[in-house]
Amino acid sequence: MLYSRGIVEKDYEQLCEWWREWGWEHPMPQHLLGQGVMICDDEVNICAGFLYTLKEAPIAWFTFPISNPNVRGDIRKYAIQLLIQNMTEKAKESGAQLMYSALRNISMIEAQKEAGFVANGGYTELIKNL
């Protein structure tokens, strides 16, 4: 049975492995990650994502979603749906009226569209380390 939990410090090494396996050359430093949620099936971690909330505006940013590359099929699909639902609830609880996400993974884009996200095509996500 799938369940969600908060990400703990010991999860970071596994998340970095997943990010590298999915082609992320530079995983996010742990101290820069927002509020994280892990979706699990018994003792198997399936997927995770992070949420940032703004104090200046009622906006939440759902980002850095990642999944266990060894888990495939319906279980991963359901886990991703649960992750999106969980992040949506957390964003609402924080007072957000809009949830933003920028992705390149087609499966995650489709999962977010199914959950009510609207694509505003043409954007490129850029990150600058300061």
pLDDT of 85: 92
In a domain, 61, yes or no: yes
In a domain, 124, yes or no: no
pLDDT of 113: 80
pLDDT of 5: 96
Domains: count for the chain:
1
Domain range enclosing 91:
2-114
pLDDT of 130: 45
User: What does the chain look like in DSSP terms, one character per residue?
Assistant: -EEEEE--TTHHHHHHHHHHHTT-SSPPPGGG--EEEEEEETTEEEEEEEEEE-SSSSEEEEEEEEE-TT--THHHHHHHHHHHHHHHHHHHHTT-SEEE-----HHHHHHHHHTT-----S--------
CATH of the domain at 23: 3.40.630.30
As averages over each run of 10 residues, the pLDDT of the chain (130 residues) reads: 94 95 87 94 94 91 91 91 93 90 73 76 60
Report pTM.
Answer: 0.84
